[in-house]
Chains A and B, each alone.
Chain A
Amino acid sequence: MKKKGTWFVGTAIVLGSAAFLPGIVTVPYYLHLTILALIWVVVAQGQNLIQGYTGYVTIAQGGFMGIGAYSSALLSVKLGWPVWGTLALTPLLTGLLAILVGYPSLRVKGHYFAIVTLAFNMVIYIVLFNYRSLTGGEAGLTDIPRLGDLLSGMIGFSALSSFYYLALLAAVITTGMCWLLINSRVGRNLIAIRQNEALTDGIGIAIWRYKLFAFVASASMAGLGGGLYAHFIGFINPDTFTVGQSLNAILAVIVGGSGTLLGPVVGSFVVVFLPEYLRIADFFRLIVYGLILILATIFMPKGIVFVVGQLLKKMEGIRSDK
């Protein structure tokens, strides 16, 4: 019980300081990066839901981000719908498509599943690229209404700070919803599926429905992330939603901590900020990235959060010995 208390206090303090971040950070560029990281938190929590908790590695989050981004952008630009509406619709629209994708994909497991989702990501990319009349093809969509500008009029903060709060809200709500989900019966069943699918099936749980739910939910989160991205940057084109982006989502979850709530948060910041610090040696960036992935998988397969957790436990253990 005390532990729960400290978690709440801790979270409150983190959120409190996060609320003051725009005031502290003087260089707008770093706020810009933080916003990207928060958008990634939304996507990574989705990846974590299907990968970390349910045990199915999907390589399609990038593609689903694209679906969310393009739907919101097209509806607001071409049909003139209000941006709040189109953004709110993104999880729904992406979720619908995810049902279509999930149906064949979930018929198989493990590697098959991963590769099929990868194929779907590529199909999404190819359609976005070639269906020029709708998506603008490689030239992309420009002049997407920036939420930051809309908000700054309303709340009076600068465009960047306004969007920061929106992204923070989205990240917090997504993480909160995942927290509720994991601690519910649904969540427990998902974990059971990851641990032993045959057994879970055997005791009569409708695993098919749960798997589909997890897949659709994770895709919806990616869609929301994509929508936020579109209305943040103001320009999208297919290159942002490739398999490479899906691999970033996997990286974020693995490095941060697969199967934990905090893991995707940490992982998202790593994925966004690490390339900045690796920019010193552009050529080495790929090699370092890859080595980090390999070493993390061999030595830290449960991610940063787990390692830090173990460290803290050890520290507590030492203290209690005193």
Chain B
Amino acid sequence: MLSEFVQQIINGLTIGGIYSLLALGLTVVYGILGIAHFAHGSIAMLGGYFIFVLLKKVGLPFFGAIAVAMPAGAVLGIFIERWAYRPVQEDSPINAFIIALGLTMVIDGANLLMFGADQVVIPTKYNNVIHLGKVAIVELRLYVILTTVLLILGMTAFINRTSTGMAVRAVAQNRAAAILMGIDVNRIPAIIFAISSALGVAAGAFVGALFAIAPGVGENYVIKGFAVLILGGLGSIPGAVVGGLVIGVSETLAAGFISSSYKDVIAFLVMIFVMLLRPEGLLGKAER
């Protein structure tokens, strides 16, 4: 019984790690720029497809491909910020959301065109199963968890330790004051989207290696990503991490111990209850 429970926790941490990674990309964009970047899921998928191609056609190893794809994702993010979101930055926030929906369709359509409708699974050689008593964990999952932790730590270090990171935090707290302090405020949205998309690409790589990339998958993940945001607090980085793990583990435990049919409902019920009881999320600041 205990080993079953531990096994489920480990299962949940893997998927939770992916949720956290995706939510991180969403939360920096929402928290600092106020944009509900719904297209993030599709960008993650694009990253996954791209890495698949790098593996199959160019012959790069898995982590090498990720290292190449992440900067490419960053460039895409900068492009999207400049051409899709910046034109509506002065309009009502609804418009940015609609742009996000349009972007989702465009990127999904491009993915369909470039990679077809069949599901894509990224093959890695990390198939060994490690046994710890009755608990089994396949190498790949371990690496995914480790890499996610590293990326999160890396991002946190960037935000807290570098001067660019400080500029980002300044803009997040008080845009007007930041301008007065001489910070180039127009650079910041580009940087945010670059980071967000790079993280999205990494998340897509893990989804592709552990599960599969296919049309429609991106939307499911981004919706879960928003559930994480709402749970953890829109705009909170620790919230995204904690929220992702909580939702991942809850889903898995619910599927394992209650019923597998309603697994997906967990994330949505969580969202709804949080909205009812504590709209700012577990770790967010109380602001409406």
Interface, chain A (partner B; CB < 8 A): 51, 55, 57, 104-105, 107-112, 114-116, 118-120, 122-123, 126-127, 130, 243, 247, 250-251, 254, 283-294, 297-298, 301
Residue of A104, A283, A286 with highest tally of chain B CB at under 10 A:
A286
In the assembly, what is the distance between CA of A119 and CA of B98, in Å?
17
The secondary-structure label for the interface of chain A is helix
A-B complex: 4 closest residue pairs judged by Cβ atoms: A290-B105, A286-B109, A293-B102, A287-B109
Partner of A105, one of B88, B97, B106, B275: B275
In the assembly, what is the distance between CA of A107 and CA of B99, in Å?
25
Known: A118-B223, A126-B265, A285-B109. A298 touches B88 (CB 8 A): yes
In the assembly, what is the distance between CA of A272 and CA of B113, in Å?
23
B93 contact set on A, CB distance < 8 A: 110-111
Whether B264 pairs with A122 at a CB distance below 8 angstroms is: yes
Q: In this assembly, does B44 line the interface, its C-beta being within 8 Å of a C-beta of chain A? A: no
Known: A250-B101, A294-B103. A111 touches B110 (CB 8 A): no
Whether B268 pairs with A120 at a CB distance below 8 angstroms is: yes
Residue of B94, B104, B106, B219 with highest tally of chain A CB at under 10 A:
B94
Whether A116 pairs with B265 at a CB distance below 8 angstroms is: no
B267 contact set on A, CB distance < 8 A: 119
Task: Return 26 A-B CB contacts under 8 Å, by A number.
Answer: A55-B94, A57-B94, A57-B97, A104-B272, A104-B275, A104-B276, A118-B223, A120-B272, A122-B223, A123-B268, A126-B264, A126-B268, A130-B262, A250-B98, A254-B98, A283-B109, A284-B113, A286-B105, A286-B109, A286-B112, A287-B106, A287-B109, A290-B103, A290-B104, A291-B106, A301-B95
Residue of A51, A109, A123 with highest tally of chain B CB at under 10 A:
A123
Interface string of B235-273 (1 = CB under 8 A from A): 000000000000000000000000001101101110110
In the assembly, what is the distance between CA of A55 and CA of B269, in Å?
25
* Closest partner residue, chain B, to A299 (CB atom): B87
- Tally of A-B Cβ pairs under 8 angstroms: 121
Whether A109 pairs with B288 at a CB distance below 8 angstroms is: yes
Known: A108-B279, A123-B268, A123-B269. A287 touches B288 (CB 8 A): no
Whether A297 pairs with B99 at a CB distance below 8 angstroms is: yes
Whether A297 pairs with B223 at a CB distance below 8 angstroms is: no
Whether A290 pairs with B102 at a CB distance below 8 angstroms is: yes
The secondary-structure label for the interface of chain B is helix
* Closest partner residue, chain A, to B116 (CB atom): A283
* Closest partner residue, chain A, to B34 (CB atom): A111
In the assembly, what is the distance between CA of A237 and CA of B113, in Å?
28
Q: In this assembly, does B91 line the interface, its C-beta being within 8 Å of a C-beta of chain A? A: yes
Within the complex, the shortest CB–CB distance from A150 to chain B, in Å, comes to: 36
A122 contact set on B, CB distance < 8 A: 223, 264-265, 268
Q: In this assembly, does B15 line the interface, its C-beta being within 8 Å of a C-beta of chain A? A: no
Residues of B102-133 whose CB lies within 8 A of A: 102-110, 112-113
Whether A130 pairs with B30 at a CB distance below 8 angstroms is: no
* Closest partner residue, chain A, to B229 (CB atom): A115
Whether A290 pairs with B288 at a CB distance below 8 angstroms is: no
Within the complex, the shortest CB–CB distance from B204 to chain A, in Å, comes to: 18
Q: In this assembly, does B221 line the interface, its C-beta being within 8 Å of a C-beta of chain A? A: no
Residues of B223-237 whose CB lies within 8 A of A: 223, 226-227, 230, 234
In the assembly, what is the distance between CA of A26 and CA of B202, in Å?
54
In the assembly, what is the distance between CA of A10 and CA of B97, in Å?
35
Within the complex, the shortest CB–CB distance from A271 to chain B, in Å, comes to: 13
What would 7 more interface pairs be, CB under 8 Å, given A107-B276, A111-B234?
A51-B94, A120-B272, A126-B262, A130-B261, A254-B98, A287-B110, A288-B109
* Closest partner residue, chain A, to B106 (CB atom): A290
Within the complex, the shortest CB–CB distance from A111 to chain B, in Å, comes to: 4
A51 contact set on B, CB distance < 8 A: 94
Q: In this assembly, does B84 line the interface, its C-beta being within 8 Å of a C-beta of chain A? A: yes
Within the complex, the shortest CB–CB distance from A191 to chain B, in Å, comes to: 14
In the assembly, what is the distance between CA of A284 and CA of B30, in Å?
30
In the assembly, what is the distance between CA of A248 and CA of B74, in Å?
30
Whether A283 pairs with B84 at a CB distance below 8 angstroms is: no
